[in-house]
A and B are shown apart, each in its own frame.
Chain A
Amino acid sequence: MKKIIINELKIIKNQKIFVGYLIAIISLWVVATTISFKQYKGEEAVRNQFNNYHRQLWENQDPKNPHMAAHYGSFAFKPANSLSIFDNGINSYSGSFIYLEAHRQNDFICSPAQNSSIFLRLGELNLSFLFQIAIPLLILSLCVGMFNTEKSSDLISFISVNSFSTKKLLLYKSYALLLINSAIYVGLYALTVILTSIMGVQWALADLLSLTGLLFSQLVFSYILILLFLLIALKAKDIKQATIVSLSVWILLFFILPRIAVNVCNTLYPLPSNLAFKEEIKKDIDNGINGHGKGDREKLVIDSVLKANHVDSTYKLPVNIDGIMLFKGEEYSSIVYNKHFSDLKNVILKQQQTAEVISLFSPYLLIKNLSMSICKTDLRSEFNFREQAENYRYYFVQELNNNMKLKSKENEFNTYKIHKSDFLAIKDFHYQADHFYDVIKHSWLEIILIMGLLSFLLIMVKLKA
Chain B
Amino acid sequence: MLEAISIVKDYKGQKALNYVSFKVNLGEVFCLVGANGAGKSTLIKLFTGQLTPTTGSANIDGYSVAGDFNAVKHKVAYIPENLMLYGHLNAIENLDLFCSVSNLKYTTNELSLFLRQAGLNEVHYSKRLENYSKGMRQKVGIAYALAKKAEYLFLDEPTSGLDPKSIIEFSEIIKQLSKTGITILMTSHDLHRSINDADKIGIMKDGNLLEVIETDDYTHSELEEKYMNYMIN
Contact = CB atoms under 8 A, between A and B. Distances in A.
Q: Do A and B bind each other?
A: yes
Interface in A150-198: 152-155, 157-164
A154 B83 contact: yes
B89 A158 contact: no
Interface stretch (A1-9, A29-37, A413-421): A1-9
B78 A155 contact: no
A11 interface: yes
A162 B148 contact: yes
A162 B144 contact: yes
Given A161-B50, A162-B77, A162-B78, A153 B98 contact: no
Interface string A269-280: 000000000000
A163 B97 CA distance: 10
B80 interface: yes
B14 to A, nearest CB: 20
Contacts of A155: 83-86
Contact of A7 (B79, B89, B145, B148): B89
A149 B87 contact: yes
B107 interface: no
Contacts of A149: 84, 86-87
A342 B80 CA distance: 69
- Taking chain A's interface residues, is the majority helix, strand, or loop, or is none over half, making it mixed? helix
A164 B77 CA distance: 12
Interface string A120-157: 00000000000000000000000000000100111101
Contacts of B84: 149, 152-155
Interface string B100-143: 11100000000000000000000000000000000000000100
B101 A3 contact: yes
Interface residues of A, number: 20
B83 A1 contact: no
A154 B85 CA distance: 8
A158 B154 CA distance: 11
Contacts of B100: 3-4
Contacts of B87: 149
A307 interface: no
A163 B87 CA distance: 18
Nearest to B98: A163
Interface string B61-100: 0000000000001001111111111111100000011101
Contacts of A158: 78-80, 83, 85, 141
B48 interface: yes
Contacts of B97: 3-4, 7
A160 B50 contact: yes
A430 interface: no
A52 interface: no
Given A152-B84, A163-B102, A157 B50 contact: yes
Given A3-B96, A7-B97, A10-B88, A153 B83 contact: yes
Interface in A1-58: 1, 3-4, 7, 10-11, 14
Contact of A157 (B80, B88, B145): B80
A155 B83 CA distance: 6
A285 to B, nearest CB: 75
Nearest to A13: B88
Contacts of A154: 80-84
Nearest to B73: A161
Contacts of A11: 86, 88
A193 B180 CA distance: 64
Interface in A339-363: none
Contacts of A1: 101
Interface string B181-211: 0000000000000000000000000000000
Nearest to B85: A155
Contacts of A159: 98
Contacts of B83: 153-155, 158
Contacts of B141: 158
Nearest to A4: B101
Contacts of A160: 49-50
A147 B98 CA distance: 17
A7 B80 contact: no
A240 B141 CA distance: 29
B98 A162 contact: yes
A152 B85 CA distance: 10
Interface in B32-55: 48-50
Nearest to A169: B101
Interface centre among A3, A153, A158, A162 (most CB of B within 10 A): A162
A11 B97 CA distance: 13
A153 B82 CA distance: 6
A147 to B, nearest CB: 13
Nearest to B87: A149
A370 to B, nearest CB: 36
B88 A161 contact: no
A229 to B, nearest CB: 22
A162 B80 CA distance: 11
A160 B76 CA distance: 11
Nearest to B148: A162
A447 B97 CA distance: 38
Nearest to A7: B97
Interface centre among A3, A158, A164 (most CB of B within 10 A): A158
Nearest to B96: A3
A385 B82 CA distance: 66
Contact of B78 (A7, A14, A152, A157): A157
A10 to B, nearest CB: 6
Given A10-B88, A154-B84, A164 B101 contact: yes
**Lowest 7 CB-CB distances: which A-B pairs, in order?**
A153-B84, A154-B80, A161-B78, A161-B48, A3-B100, A154-B82, A163-B101
Given A160-B49, A164-B102, 11 more contacts: A3-B97, A7-B97, A11-B88, A152-B84, A155-B84, A158-B79, A159-B98, A162-B76, A162-B98, A162-B144, A162-B145
Interface of B: 48-50, 73, 76-89, 96-98, 100-102, 141, 144-145, 148, 154
24 contacts: A3-B96, A3-B100, A10-B89, A149-B84, A149-B87, A152-B84, A153-B82, A153-B85, A154-B84, A155-B83, A155-B84, A155-B85, A155-B86, A157-B48, A157-B78, A160-B50, A161-B48, A161-B50, A161-B76, A161-B154, A162-B78, A162-B145, A162-B148, A163-B102
